[in-house]
Amino acid sequence: MYNIKIIGRGICLPEKVVWSADLEKENNWPENYILEKHGVKKRHWVTKEHNSTLGAKALANALENAGLNFNELDLLIYASVSYDCPIPTTGCAIQQVGGWEDSGVPCIDVNSSCISFMNAMEVAGALMLSNSYKKIAIVSSEIASRSLHPEAEECYCLFGDGAAAFIMEPSLNSGISYTKFKTYSAGYEYTGIRGGGNFLHPAGEEFKTSDAYFHMEGRKAMLFTIRHLTDFIAEIESELNRSVSDFNYIVPHQPSKQSMDYFINKYNIHKNQMHNILMDYGNCVAASIPIALYDAIEKGKVKRGDEVLMLGTAAGITLGALVFKY
């Protein structure tokens, strides 16, 4: 469908490492409670870093890995949920923070919650097909920690911060062979941050501090997603004429321990076939898939020529799948 190739990759993680054991002590929770229930042993949380600083460092690492200068890019796509400020876009901020402010390289943002990276890959592929762009950088940089409240245990234990960047160019041997996205907005209320936009504007009388924190009705969201996931996976398998368990490797969004365990058991996925970074990074929202992909490539689990199935769910609620030959 879209003949594109990854030619550079990089990540950037906040310096601060937050261990689940420390959170358990702070909140008087039992030892190993977070690891056993949520599957997270540690995660990175920002102190003074911003989306743009994490993203710029990840992109600088990807450029070095590709042997390119920023000026050689034709486009920068920022693919995330969180941002430094509503206006200007965070892609512009990454360009400015990285010291590339006079480059003229265009910057756009793509936000489809946790599956933003997959949608950005599809956008990049379509733009390259049009011959409008040759080298495109995709940056996902997420800071979830500043929107977490300790009393919301499910969220507070699960999420981490981090950024990843990939650089793409046209290719004859690699690319996206399949995409599928579906949104079921009956689940719109199950996850999100209610305040900050025009619905609950920070300057409005109805805005409360609690409206700025992420909320998640985890069980409702999971059951709602599972109800639609069965048909979604069945359609994928029918259209591709193969089982999801047939792929060389599966790189999922890292929604929760329960969700990933369910998928492994339901579809007979071998644990070594699916890349799980939840224990060491937590759920990094839209940065989860690119961080997991980076990690899988670095560890040699994904090699040139391998077909990777990326799967994710997002607030809204949206289901997404993308098949990529690395």
DSSP per position, 21-54: HHHHHHTTPPTTHHHHHH--SEEE--SS--HHHH
Token digits of residue 147:
């929107």
Read off the pLDDT of residues 65-122 as tens digits, 9 standing for 90 and up: 999 999 999 999 999 999 999 999 999 999 999 999 999 999 999 999 999 999 999 9
Binned at pLDDT 50, 70 and 90, residue 225 comes out as confident
pLDDT of 319 strictly over 80: yes
pLDDT above 80 for 148: yes
> Alpha-carbon distance 185 to 248, whole Å?
32
Global confidence as pTM: 0.95
Q: Per CATH, the architecture of 4-172 is what?
A: 3-Layer(aba) Sandwich (3.40)
Task: From residue 117, give the alpha-carbon distance in Å to each of 44, 121, 238, 285.
Answer: 20, 6, 25, 10
Tell me the pLDDT band of 149, cut-offs 50, 70 and 90. Answer: confident
The more confidently predicted of residues 209 and 135 is 135
Q: What is the pLDDT, as a whole number, of residue 59?
A: 98
The boundaries of every CATH 3.40.47.10 domain in the chain are 4-172, 177-325
Superfamily of domain 177-325 in the CATH hierarchy: Thiolase/Chalcone synthase (3.40.47.10)
Residue 198, pLDDT score? 87
What HEC string does 156-172 produce? HHHECCEEEEEEEEECC
The answer on pLDDT for 218 being more than 80 is no
In this prediction, residue 211 carries a pLDDT of 82
Both tokens assigned to 110 = 């793509």
Average pLDDT (121-140) is: 94
More confident position, 221 or 179: 179
Rounded to whole angstroms, how far apart are CA atoms 126 and 250?
23
The average pLDDT across 300-306 equals 94
